[in-house]
Amino acid sequence: MIDGQTEYVAIFGNPVAHSLSPQMHNAAFSHLGLNLAYLAFRVDEAGEAVSAMRNLGFRGASITVPHKEKIIAHLDEVDEIGRTIGAVNTIVSRAGRLCGTNTDWLGVVQPLSQMTELRGKRGLIVGAGGAARSAIYGLQRNDTQVFIMNRNEARGQKLAAEMNCTFVPWQAWDHLRTDLVVNATTVGMSPTEEQSPVPVHWLREGMVVLDMVYRPLKTRLLKDAEKAGCRCVSGLDMLLFQGVAQFELWTGKVAPVEVMRKALEEATAEEIP
């Protein structure tokens, strides 16, 4: 129940109407009896989100597209992980100072690690935004050789140079072989539900495929990958594990992982094809 003592956490981005973070975090707050509430706000400018947090005294926030990189300039502090990745998806208020970090990399690495040994593998990241940066960081931290593709080659090459990985031109699919692939773009999300950023013919049996998109739950990429005999990781798993880390930063308590997982599963139960 919200009362005069309730503290708030929020997700800021555009779009946010599809977000399942409120269901996940509010279920966890309720389970542990915490007087916290998680809300979703659509904002067009990163600075607007930070101003709202300062003026309303928010405990913390999740930052989603398109603000993960631009938000950095508005914060009081960014930790080493956030600076290295160059993108922030989590803000924690500490004595009035807004401190940024990134937990997306954990959302990538933890479910992938349950599927395969990452050390020594070859991984492809599709995309060159803040989500791609976190995936690159997480895989490199686990000794995976990273390749990136992006339709905007200049942006992709710039990211590859910044994060010491290999850029591959978009037309070079037939010349690339990797053990795993991560979709770090919004392709597959409304209104592109019938599209995939990865050619069907490139997918092969045994490959591990993670799609960060979780609405729809089974994207075109994951459907294609499943048919090709790949092992698939949905965006729901990434959402869960990055959210677990966020929860613990905001509350200082051990996250009720299974409660959070159940909330996500219930929220998407009718979406399973």
Whether 235 and 214 have beta carbons less than 8 Å apart is answered as yes
What secondary structure, in 3-state letters, does the chain show?
CCCCCCEEEEEEECCCCCCCHHHHHHHHHHHCCCCEEEEEEECCCHHHHHHHHHHHCCCEEEECCCCCCHHHHHCCEECHHHHHHCCCCEEEEECCEEEEECCHHHHHHHHHHHHCCCCCCEEEEECCCHHHHHHHHHHHHCCCEEEEECCCHHHHHHHHHHHCCEECCHHHHHHCCCCEEEECCCECECCCCCCCCCCHHHCCCCCEEEECCCCCCCCHHHHHHHHCCCEEECHHHHHHHHHHHHHHHHHCCCCCHHHHHHHHHHHCHHHCC
Find tokens 């089974």 and name the residue: 218
Annotation says 218 is catalytic: no
Pairing verdict, β 60-63 and 7-13: parallel
Among 68, 121, 158, 262, the active-site one is 68
Find tokens 């290295």 and name the residue: 84
Q: Which residues are catalytic?
A: 68
